[in-house]
Structure 1
């Protein structure tokens, strides 16, 4: 795995992903709509983190 220097924007993405993950821990599993929104936000956060790590910039 290649090491890289994180930019301020990269650190911001990591911080926001951590916030989304923390919010997901407080989710009411009986609320289907909230679950769907949370899953969508987690998918986006994960994709942004993966894009950050992707060496050639393709998904």
Structure 2
């Protein structure tokens, strides 16, 4: 598997994904609305990380 150079924007997206993951770990599972928001944020973070990999032809 080839490695690629990460840009500042790539690092920013990775940091934001980590923040969302940490927030999800502290989520009150009884709050349906908070769960839905968190799921959406995690989905977006994952999508952005996958796009970052696809940009370099690593899919």
1:2 is aligned to 2:2: yes
What TM-score do you get using the length of structure 2 for normalisation?
Answer: 0.90
**Structure 1 segment 14-33 matched on structure 2, within 5 A:** 14-33=14-33
For structure 2, the residue ranges without an aligned partner over 5 or more in a row are none
What value does the CA root-mean-square deviation take over the aligned residues?
A: 1.7
Bigger RCO of structures 1 and 2 (CA < 8 A, at least 6 apart): 2
Following superposition, which runs of at least 4 residues in structure 1 exceed 3 angstroms of deviation? none
Name structure 1 gaps, 5 residues minimum.
none
How many residue pairs align between the two structures? 58
TM-score by length of 1: 0.90
Shift of 1:2: 2.2
